[in-house]
Structure 1
């Protein structure tokens, strides 16, 4: 009897934590989004969708995720491969590459603001090289493409380390005998990477993709630091409706949209990168 109950007792703290800090707040947000005066309504979603910033914020968020996540996965794969092949100095290099993990979103945005602002490092460097005569206002409302690029660079610099840590841990679990056997049969580095590393790394890639995609849809502080309201995103609009416009119902509708997009992409990744049952231990 004790052996049957023990797994449930071990799961109880995590279950209670999930109920208190996720399910209960989710139900409150859903109630705010779908209710008005105690009755069911879709008015708040209609207000959200009819607002002129919604479509812009939606596509900006999607484009940011599309621009950031694939680059981060590719960079993290390259960096993780290099780290796992290193002998001496491996821990030092890994430590240096993961320093951005200790920097908050807002701090990362301010760092890149110091690069792109009118008196920042980029203008100083270009002026020193004689390329420009006067400082360029990179982050003005007239240069929205530059704001977008600055946010992409800041996000890649800040959050690639998260993917790197996950992939390094996954590569450490791949038996070295597989590589040795493939090398005996004449498989080159690229073929070993494609036929061994990527298939065995699928669970780690799945986790990294889900985590980074969800965080990409929730980007906020970096955008506020570099672009402010010149680059609307879904999380930024949620903040505006919650605190500036004092409309919690529409803010809740935005939150549910972000949650829905995150769940949809999570299901896609779980389906696409699922591990075949015969390959599971």
Structure 2
């Protein structure tokens, strides 16, 4: 009996299936074939060449470090901005539009903006020089800590607005009745945020967490503009292998690593945030 409805539903979902096959499945199959097929058939030579490259492990370490440091900072800042906006200050709409301006700026343009600040003759060193402090080579390969700090600050400025917009959208669906009831029973502001608001925001936070982790794994243009290859990232290595080293097979192998990490992160977040009481309970 279920075959009839299923047969009628097939023409409705067929365009979506064809679209997803053309958009995702076929490129994925092509990429896997390119990473594992050599002139003499199946091979793991491209994978071995990838893992033997010291830049690969440095890029993997830098990408992991960027995610571990950047994402908690972005969520803390986005939540703080959303909570401030929730209190409906004067000119709240203007504040919102100012905070989301970085969404309209491309990754490369954002990197160039911050390059003008951190470069040896940039605005930051000009201010230090005017204050009588010796300029500092912030982006020198001899100073990896400040180079990493510059990338974090640039990415924090560029991408926090995405989390902010998702959190603000989620807050629109949270009834204020729960918050007011908790206040009547003597809950403090931070208790209401922790036990009332955040559980209601779990779906929005989950979406934002998955998106930001995947986008952080794909970070490239900002770091490339600021540091070149002095601060390699995984997606940057696909660019290097494809353009500079003229080896699309190894480039595809690195891209598949990024894809695998993105899938593992998304599945892990979904399983982790699925457990626990439902929001509002």
Shorter-chain TM-score above 0.5? yes
**1:209 and 2:205 are equivalent in the alignment:** no
SS in 2 for 1:273: helix
- 1:59 counterpart residue number: 61
Instruction: Quickly say closer, same or farther: Cα 1:224–1:18, change in 2 above 3 A.
Output: same
- 2:94 counterpart residue number: 92
SS in 2 for 1:219: coil
- 1:179 counterpart residue number: 179
- 1:261 counterpart residue number: 261
Distance 1:38 1:23 in 2: 25
- 2:242 counterpart residue number: 242
Asked if structure 1 preserves the Cα contact closer than 8 Å seen for 2:199 and 2:279, the reply is: no
Instruction: Quickly say closer, same or farther: Cα 1:198–1:191, change in 2 above 3 A.
Output: same
TM-score (normalizing by structure 1): 0.93
RMSD of the TM alignment (CA)? 2.1
1:82 is displaced (CA, Å) by: 0.9
Distance 2:92 2:9 in 1: 39
Stretch of structure 1 that moved more, 156-165 or 79-88? 79-88
For residues 169-226 of structure 1, give each alpha carbon's deviation from its aligned partner in whole angstroms, at most 9, with x where no partner exists: 1111011111111111111111100111111111111100100000101111111100
Instruction: Quickly say closer, same or farther: Cα 1:9–1:70, change in 2 above 3 A.
Output: farther
- 2:194 counterpart residue number: 194
**1:148 and 2:148 are equivalent in the alignment:** yes
Q: Mapping of 1:67-106 within 5 angstroms?
A: 67-106=69-108
Structure 1 spans left out of the alignment, 5+ residues: none
Q: Mapping of 1:5-16 within 5 angstroms?
A: 9=11, 11-16=13-18
Distance 2:123 2:89 in 1: 36
SS in 1 for 2:84: helix
SS in 1 for 2:140: coil
Asked if structure 2 preserves the Cα contact closer than 8 Å seen for 1:48 and 1:54, the reply is: yes
For residues 36-91 of structure 1, give each alpha carbon's deviation from its aligned partner in whole angstroms, at most 9, with x where no partner exists: 13622211111100112111111011101111111001111111111112154221
Asked if structure 1 preserves the Cα contact closer than 8 Å seen for 2:200 and 2:279, the reply is: no
Distance 2:87 2:73 in 1: 21
Distance 2:95 2:8 in 1: 42
Distance 1:17 1:58 in 2: 32
Asked if structure 2 preserves the Cα contact closer than 8 Å seen for 1:139 and 1:226, the reply is: yes
Instruction: Quickly say closer, same or farther: Cα 1:69–1:136, change in 2 above 3 A.
Output: same
TM-score (normalizing by structure 2): 0.93
1:18 is displaced (CA, Å) by: 1.9
Q: Mapping of 1:5-44 within 5 angstroms?
A: 9=11, 11-37=13-39, 39-44=41-46
- 1:49 counterpart residue number: 51
